[in-house]
Structure 1
Amino acid sequence: MAPRRGPSSPSPDAARLLPPGAVEEFAEAAGGRFRVLRSTASGTGTPLLLIHGGGPDNAAISWYRAFAPLSVDRPVFAADLAGCGYTEDVAVTGTAAGMADQLAELADALGLGRMAVAGVSMGGEVALQFALRHPGRCAALVAVAPGGLVERLQGRYAQRAAWLATLLPDPVLRPLAALANRFVGAAVKRMVHDPSTLPAEVVAEMVREARRPGSGMAYGAYNKASIGPRGMLNNLLPEVGRITVPTLFFHGAADPLVPPSGSAGAAARIPGARLVLVPDCGHWAQLEAHGAFVDEVRGFLAG
């Protein structure tokens, strides 16, 4: 299957959401050009690389609220993954391992050495893979409602149905994804326990991202690589015990998309890992429980 490419950048005057305290830059790596958000004012601690989630997401959406407060202690970077946001011409591998390797190349291009890594949802799985595949580069790990930690979806019939959906060819998936993306504004509010906690500008940016040509296809490639007929192909539970860096799992207890049991199982397997389950909180825990998330991560990284 030929590699897919990210959508083209819009005109310079197109509206883009930027987190407070971030500037937008571009860096050549992994055969293309990554859009990178960099903190404008930061402390001198170990650099922190933030990894966004799947679907119509990008670095500014997932990390809109956390960027500035996390950069008080350290330099913070966040990149749009291949096929997402404003990153261009980076091949979409579909696998979290492939995305982790591409981010390692980006880190080289940015001159980053050892760093803390934090990811949410699909990006949480990428962060786990980064810690497994590049242990010398990873100083600490934060996984927010991470994927890749369940043996199968809820029930064998749900697993089979999800797998059959991944068999649809891209010419069929593209119009279906475009149709589904028309309703992303309503869908995103079902990802959280309390929709009123989401900043309006974040929801608006996600709707904008969903309407970009090719939006969702990179996430579709991830699902194709992750979902098997009888179980998940990306289950990292048997491997996470090899992670030796300080690790924090942060998960909404009411997450309707990714079971908190995966984070609990991984935390039990990683020596010294800590699990924070946030009551009355859904999938986007770093946005919905913003204050608790920032406090936990700053304290964890300081320690």
Structure 2
Amino acid sequence: MTRLLPPGATETRVPIAGGRMRVLRGAVEGPGTPVLLVHGGGYDAAGISWFRLLGALAPAPPVVAPDLPGFGGTTGIASIGSADDLADLLRELLRELGVARAVVVGVSMGGDVALRLALRHPDACAAVVAIAPGGLVERVGSAPLHALAWAGTRIPDAVLQPLARVAGRFAGATVRGFVRDASSLPPEVVAEFAAEGRAPGAGLAYGAYNRWAIGRAGMPHHLRSRVADIQAPTLLVHGRDDAMVPVEGSRTAAARMQLATLVELDGVGHWAQLEAHDRVLAAIEPVLAAADAAR
């Protein structure tokens, strides 16, 4: 399938980990600190999550936005469930691209990966921006709800794949639930999310992440007790009307981190970078300026 390109973006394929990673870049790259954009889960991909932000950030810094293994147009790399391993892979990608340090921006699952990249490879992170990040809560809602979520992660891929194909038919309707105002979503993004939901293997990579992240009684790899070790300046951005990832996780993280700032957005759901990209961009710009000044 022909995949969505954000306005002002170019596409390249980077040989890595035995496969080819699809990476989007700004068409014009300036001299600022590079920015690494990490998309979320479900049927997401770089061209979806960063449809509005990639072009808005360029040309001030070089911007790179990969499709993670099992998502979008990346091929030849097996799905990676562990967010720690995904962080390691992105460090390898930065090396392949000749990027020593970057401002790492991640949304949802990608926010979890961005925080782990700062923990595992602090030398590579000039700053972190985590938008509605996963990995910061101890369980999924109530105990019964968590038990139900855990049971869902135990479904074998052989059974999950046909179920995912059925669910993918409704991806276009599902994506509208990610935001408070569905009319704020670009129609190209809704159409692309729906197309990704119908693609072979759709949802399996996100299922691998959930299988790793959700334990029987809690989230065994959550970062609440570890975020204080992050040394990079960190901006947490969270919509107050996020129905998917509780804002409480970002609040707790910000309170425990010495160099963290929390921006809560009224009237905004889970995909703040699409629903309120102007406000998200305004919050990110000082982070980029500070990273440039510290170079």
TM-score by length of 2: 0.97
Pairwise CA distance, 1:168: 1.1
Distance 2:12 2:59 in 1: 20
Give 1:239's aligned amino acid: R
Matched, 1:292 2:284: no
Pairing 1:158-237 to 2, within 5 Å after superposition: 158-237=145-224
Q: Is the 8 A contact 1:249 1:276 kept in 2?
A: yes
SS in 1 for 2:151: helix
Pairwise CA distance, 1:35: 0.2
Matched, 1:269 2:291: no
Distance 2:252 2:175 in 1: 27
- Structure 2: state its 5+ residue gaps: 291-295
Identify which range, 120-129 or 165-174, moves more after superposition.
165-174
Q: Is the 8 A contact 1:30 1:106 kept in 2?
A: no
Pairwise CA distance, 1:273: 0.6
More helix by share: 2
Matched, 1:30 2:17: yes
User: Match for residue 74 of structure 2?
Assistant: 87
Give 1:27's aligned amino acid: V
Distance 1:210 1:253 in 2: 27
Matched, 1:49 2:36: yes
TM-score by length of 1: 0.94
Distance 2:116 2:7 in 1: 29
Match of 1:60 among 47, 57, 61: 47
User: Match for residue 9 of structure 1?
Assistant: none
Q: Is the 8 A contact 1:152 1:159 kept in 2?
A: yes
Distance 1:90 1:130 in 2: 19
Match of 2:127 among 135, 140, 144: 140
Distance 1:191 1:59 in 2: 16
Distance 2:196 2:152 in 1: 23
Pairwise CA distance, 1:93: 2.1
Distance 1:107 1:32 in 2: 16
Q: Please report the RMSD computed on the Cα atoms of aligned residues, expressed in angstroms.
A: 0.9
Distance 1:264 1:31 in 2: 39
Pairwise CA distance, 1:42: 2.7
Matched, 1:120 2:107: yes
Q: Is the 8 A contact 2:87 2:113 kept in 1?
A: yes
Q: Deviations over 1:113-168 (max 9, x none)?
A: 11110000000000011000000111100000000000111111011111111111
SS in 2 for 1:190: helix
Identical pairs, percent:
52
Q: Deviations over 1:238-289 (max 9, x none)?
A: 0110101110001100000000010111111111210000001000011001
Matched, 1:110 2:97: yes
Runs of 4+ displaced beyond 3 Å: none
Distance 1:93 1:56 in 2: 15
